[in-house]
Structure 1
Amino acid sequence: MKVDVKNRVKFVRWPAESEVRQECQALQHLCLLIVEHGAPPPEQVSIYEDWVRPPIVPEDLRARVRQLAARAVLNEKPVLDPAGILYFREASVTLSLTQCEMLAPLISRYGQLVYRNELKDILERSGASSSSNAIDLHVMRLRRRLQMVGLAVRNVWGRGFVVEPI
């Protein structure tokens, strides 16, 4: 089923309707700023915003609206960057190398089960202890870090772990 994203995007004249833009930012609504003739574009835009100058070709407008929707959807899944920073929604947290290695399969299969043996293999490859207690200790530390960005590591008894929003 295809969602009509155009109806969810608010079109806001910039800078005349700056208070409407602030409302959109506070509510995290998708917002396309229409920059008025002669006005400078906004210096910063959030993940939920984009801007254009009129006149705009209809196919370009549709492309901007699709891009806005795609960025907003991406913001609903956690992203682990190569520098070891985990981003989720509007928050971020820095992780250790071991935490990144353990979190990578949990993030790539966000909301799905990652078996305990997979995490054990990761610890073995890194040269760390891979005992059951060591896995539990690493997961406990990971839970604390992920809680800072609104994520939880849920234990699936006897099988493994799932990362999901709090």
Structure 2
Amino acid sequence: MSVEASIVPAGVADAGEILTVQRAAYLTEAQHYGDPFLPPLTETLDEVRSVLTGPGVVLAARSGHRLVGSVRAHLAGDTAHVGRLSVAPDQQGRGVGGRLLTAIEVACAGRVALFTLFTGADSARNLRLYQRHGYRIVAHRPDPNGIRLAVLEKPVVSPARSDA
């Protein structure tokens, strides 16, 4: 029997689990790109704790007592920079990533006009997920280690108003 993951705000007590899931999730990316030093893999526990106590938004997906995914957003002006979308490898392909992406957008609603994120330019599965959720590639750039990244954006769609 599978339990549907619930999406909840993450707290400092979740830092260790977030880091563990993040490292497991990004390991396949590191192998794909031949780079064991991707930032999500080198981030420290103290850095995760710092993000959790900072001004950003961090959400966790929990299945029962287990943390199975997380995502974060840093707000700068009218833009939400979404990052570190991570789902435990044994939970991938079950919609958890898409639900986390939707939840972070909802959590930032009303505060931003644009969502932006990046992923490896050759990460077809990630690109499909983001494009299904309305993100479009707007640029490519190298990361500090020379890996080609795709930069994606999604404008916030305001509900139609009638000025009657």
Question: Do the two structures share a fold, i.e. TM-score over 0.5?
Answer: no
User: Considering only CA atoms, is the larger Rg found in Structure 1 or Structure 2?
Assistant: 1
Higher strand share: 2
Higher helix share: 1
TM-score (normalised: structure 1)? 0.26
TM-score (normalised: structure 2)? 0.26
Q: Which has the higher contact order (CA 8 A, sep 6+)?
A: 2
